[in-house]
Structure 1
Amino acid sequence: MSAITAPAKFSGARTAARTAIRVAWFAGALFWTAFAVLEGVNHGWLAVLAALAFFIAPDLTFLAGLRDARHTERGQLPARAVPFYNAAHRALVPFALMIAYAFGPITWAPIFAGLCGWLAHISFDRAFGYGLRTKDGFQRGRR
């Protein structure tokens, strides 16, 4: 086996693994979306509003770099917005807040619905190939 053909054999396995991971993220996205809808149905318009607001909110971090947007390449996020974007797009953050909510003294359904919407957003992003950003503002693993 030559050194030239070895990577070609493994690239198919890598592609299959990436596809499996994206399918898993998509299943998670459907789960969290359904959970947010269920919370809205069970707890009213305020829960629906919170779920929608938290579904949209992570992408509002783009506004932090709006001033520098004209100086970036296509697909690049301005460096000023990267820390905010990455913080808002880490699945561990809303998941940890869900655990704190479950064991904490506060029991207000719109909070949980919002966290479901936030996790749905992150899961959809990962399913469609959008991940965290490098310090330069590019998608990790895409360059």
Structure 2
Amino acid sequence: MCTTAPVTVTRKSFLRRPVARRTAWLALGLFWSAFAVLEGVNHGRLAAVLALAFFVAPDLTFLVAAGDARHVRKGQLPARAVPYCNAAHRALVPLALMVAYTVLPVAWAPIFAGLCGWLAHISYDRAFGYGLRTKEGFQRA
């Protein structure tokens, strides 16, 4: 008779699994999208436009090196655009701005909708397998 030890799944080993991590990013993306829509409804058309603009803006960093695109391989970003792309796709940047917005005496509500859109973009990128890039311009493993 063969017995096997029970498999214990800790929180740390569970989050290492790509499916669990990507599902968590997808849930965050849905949350930030809903929050951006809520802010757009509460604060008017400008908030909705900012949420949409901030949702699209991180991918516009690819235009920094648009002329260098013919010198790269498929799936590679030109090296000149990598720092801008990575900076725009770090979740801590909009989160830090949200914290600063809530702590500092700033009273322009539509910007919060834009930050929600930015976080939604980052979350969806991570959920669909797009992360930060290496200095050569390829996706990090």
TM-score by length of 2: 0.89
Which amino acid is 1:35 matched to?
F
> What is the aligned length?
129
Give the superposition deviation at 1:65.
1.2
The ranges of structure 1 where at least 4 consecutive aligned residues each deviate by more than 3 angstroms after the TM superposition are none
Identify unmatched segments of 5+ residues in structure 1.
1-12
What is residue 80 of structure 2 aligned with on the other side? 80
1:98-120 per-residue CA deviation (whole Å, 9 max, x = no partner) reads: 00001111021111000000000
Question: Gapped runs of 5+ residues in structure 2?
Answer: 1-12
Identity of aligned residues (%): 72
Write the distance in 2 (CA, Å) between the matches of 1:27 and 1:87: 22
Asked whether 1:93 is paired with 2:93, we answer yes
Q: In 2, distance between residues paired with 1:117 and 1:136?
A: 28
- Specify the alignment match of 2:34 in structure 1: 34
**How many angstroms apart in 1 are the aligned matches of 2:80 and 2:110?**
31
Q: Could you tell me how far apart the structure 1 residues matched to 2:41 and 2:94 are?
A: 21
2:6 is matched with none
Match of 1:115 in 2: 115
SS state at 1:133 partner: coil
Distance 2:59 2:135 in 1: 17
Secondary structure in 1 matching 2:36: helix
